[in-house]
Amino acid sequence: MKNIGTGKVSASHLEREACVYIRQSSPGQVVNNTESTRRQYDPSERALVLGWPRERIRVIDEDQGLSGADAEKRGGFQDLMARIAAGEVGIVLSLEISRLGRSNADLHRLFRLVALSGTLVCDEAGVHDPGNSSDLLLLGIKSSVYEFELDGIRQRLLGGALNKAQRGELRIALPAGLVHDPAVAVVLDPDIQVAEAVNPVFETFRRTRSARATFNWLLDNAILLPACPASEGHRLIWSEAHYSRVLSILRNPRYAGCHAWGRRGGNAGRADPWKAWRVCIPEAHAGYIDWEEFQRNQRQLADNHRQSFAATDGRTGPLREGGALLQSRAICGRCGSRMLIKCGGATDPKRVNERYYHCVGGKVAQAGKSCQTMRGERVDAAVADFLVGAVNRSNIDLALSVEEQVRSDFARADLQRSYQNREIITHPAKRSGRVEPSVW
């Protein structure tokens, strides 16, 4: 210690505890930087030099492996603050102030508390009394420097990751269905049961154009979906289909062979979310769909995200349930807004089966009156007559092809269930993006 500062230590300080705070930012540092850990225990000897008996020296090392950027997650630091507030601590010792925290807000809260309780702060440079304005200024400058240093470290790490991502070399955890081969290239998972579970998601969405309908089809046919969650160490697991899981598959560009990075947040309702990504390299590796289909899927998902009243913005909105023939498809000829379905039973139970196409576009947009209301059976009858008149031989062929597609879907679902009824062997060992094929 360069300047021990024994003159600042009084008898009232010595009557209380000396707390030595020890912290390293990550488990890797705790394991590898053993010399730093050893040096952080040295302030215990300094407390002895300052006059504290060994039985009143407390070592707080509960926060080993935790970042100093957030005090709320550090139980040892919170315990230290509580002891200071209770007047039990005479001096806080640490190898350097940055061990106590990297956040200006956390450190200044600590300095204010130790000043009120008459507690000293000791680092490698000497003993500081936060109750003294000169010492408090010095501690404030140090805390600002440490916070700036942390931001610099963060920016350097982020810059290195960005450069590797722009070259397509950044190794990112892969979703289920994609693995790294020995050459670190991204390829389709050789496990056929994984591929046969991912493919139906895209094929069903291609046919239904709805994530909800895709989810319902998977659920109705008891199709399990694979996942490699970080909480499970990216180990391959199988679970019942969930709507959020279906959306994550449809929105993940890696399934389209795109190397993407920096795509968090703000993409839920956008038709072109890739424009906001920091790195987007299409056709960087093998995928289950091509980049053009991925773009179409994102536009369809954005179109389905919110059914707008105004139909002039190009949104068609998802098909809705109901007895009306043009449910969610009728457009008002006056204002261009999407018409709602209104049932007559709301005012008269005898008219419960009557339906009306009702436009509230003007009422919503301009606080005016409803544009128009018309009886649903008349509109539906006119549309039905038009459809019947348009049916010809080619339409019948199309209906037959749709029937064949339905049969094919049932066959695929049966095949997938046969895979999933067999024994699934997953390997919880380290998965560098790869799970060995299951042994049947």
DSSP code per residue over 386-411:
HHHHH--HHHHHHHHHHHHHHHHHHH
Distance of alpha carbon 131 from alpha carbon 13, whole angstroms: 13
Handedness of CA 218, 222, 226, 227 (dihedral sign): positive
Beta bridge partner(s), residue 179: 187
DSSP code per residue over 298-332:
HHHHHHHH---SBSTTS-------SSSTTTTT-B-
Distance of alpha carbon 347 from alpha carbon 344, whole angstroms: 6
Closest Cα partner for 178 from 164, 190, 196, 162? 190
Distance of alpha carbon 381 from alpha carbon 374, whole angstroms: 13
Distance of alpha carbon 133 from alpha carbon 130, whole angstroms: 7
* Residues contacting 216, CB < 8 A, separation 6+: none
Distance of alpha carbon 375 from alpha carbon 359, whole angstroms: 12
Inter-CA distances, 431 with 97, 175, 229, 259, Å: 39, 12, 11, 19
Closest Cα partner for 377 from 341, 331, 335? 341
**Length of the chain as a residue count:** 440
* Residues contacting 18, CB < 8 A, separation 6+: 47, 50, 52, 56, 57, 58, 89, 90, 91, 93
Based on the residue annotation, tell me whether 25 is a catalytic residue of this protein. yes
CB-based contact 258:284 (threshold 8 Å): yes
The active-site residue, picked from 25, 94, 117, 337, is 25
Beta bridge partner(s), residue 280: 260
Strands 120-123 and 126-128: antiparallel
| Catalytic (active-site) positions | 25
